[in-house]
Amino acid sequence: MRIGELAARTGVSVRSVRYYEQQGLLTSTRSAGGQRHYTAVEVERVGFIQRMFAAGLSSRTIADLLPCIDSPGEETSDAAERRMAQERDRLTGHIVELIRTRDSLDQLIATNRAHRATLPAPDQVSAPPSR
């Protein structure tokens, strides 16, 4: 498939596909006319890349993990496992912070609702005296 079809099938922009290839995250073959061509494998790869970016991993970190995915072996697995554990720990810390932020917002919402419950209803507020 050509770059536009890969972009459409994965929901990313053509520019993103080019960026992924520039960063070494994605590969393509070239036609005689120089057009990029991709296989169904790259559809899965783009999905993986998108999930990793959404989790906050950099393109460099993703590139470090790809050898373990592409050709797992003793040489790649030790370093990749350490890197994956670091990223997992970082994500866990981020999740903890997100939960703390959500809980703070829940408290603010509850306080706001309690305060609003003490206010008179709009139809019970008297109009200011006219002059």
Provide the token pair at 112: 């706001």
CB atoms within 10 A of CB 48: 14
**CB–CB of 28/38 below 8 Å?**
yes
CA–CA dist 107, 103 (Å, integer): 6
Predicted confidence (pLDDT) at residue 98 exceeds the cutoff of 90 = yes
Predicted confidence (pLDDT) at residue 33 exceeds the cutoff of 80 = yes
pLDDT (0 to 100) of residue 55: 87
Predicted confidence (pLDDT) at residue 125 exceeds the cutoff of 80 = no
Long-range contacts, stretch 120-126, CB < 8 angstroms, 24+ apart: none
Average pLDDT, the chain: 88
If one looks up domain 1-72 in CATH, what number appears?
1.10.1660.10
Task: Provide the pLDDT confidence category of residue 7 given band limits of 50, 70 and 90.
Answer: very high
- The candidate with the shortest Cα–Cα distance to 5, out of 33, 46, 34, 52, is 46
pTM of the model: 0.66
pLDDT (0 to 100) of residue 97: 96
Predicted confidence (pLDDT) at residue 15 exceeds the cutoff of 90 = yes
Quick one: average pLDDT of 2-27?
Answer: 94
pLDDT tens digits, 51-70: 999 988 899 989 888 887 77
Predicted confidence (pLDDT) at residue 131 exceeds the cutoff of 80 = no
Mean pLDDT check: name the lowest of 15-19, 43-47, 63-67.
63-67
**Residue 103, Cβ density class (10 Å: 0-12 exposed, 13-18 middle, ≥19 buried):** exposed
**Residue 38, Cβ density class (10 Å: 0-12 exposed, 13-18 middle, ≥19 buried):** buried
**3-state SS class at 30:** strand
CB atoms within 10 A of CB 66: 19
